[in-house]
Amino acid sequence: MTGQINPPATDPWKGFRGVMAGTLILEVIVVLLAFPIVARLGGGVTWASGLFLGVMTLIFIVASGKCGRQHALPVILGLQVVLIAGGVFHWSIAVIGVIFLCVWCYIGYIGRDVARRIEKGQLPSQQQ
């Protein structure tokens, strides 16, 4: 039959979810590394800044396990906005948020590209 699009032989979303989870774990490490920066450059870690960084770290760890959900990417993008708002504690926290917001926007672009290629049957695993 012509015009029929074969489903991918392997699940391309499995790798995509792995990239998302790995990126979140990398972000956890970077946020944890913000503690000494805030402590040295920001006049010390206050209870508010320490609580904020700790809660964001835990949320990112939990989110890394939820990357398979359909709404994962919008939630992660929203978390980046919250991280940017953490700039009220120290500017370095906002910088981390901006950098990872750019990374997550690119990951979102890749996800849309993969979905488009699946729909058109252009993935290598869909070729005969």
The one-letter amino acid at 4: Q
Task: Give the integer Cα–Cα distance in Å for 102 and 86.
Answer: 17
Read off the pLDDT of residues 42-101 as tens digits, 9 standing for 90 and up.
778 899 999 999 999 999 999 999 998 989 999 999 999 999 999 999 999 999 999 999
Listing DSSP states for 41-108 in one string gives HSSS--HHHHHHHHHHHHHHHHHHTTTTSTTHHHHHHHHHHHHHHGGGT-HHHHHHHHHHHHHHHHHH
- At residue 7 the predicted structure's pLDDT band, cuts being 50, 70 and 90, is low
Q: What is this structure's pTM?
A: 0.85
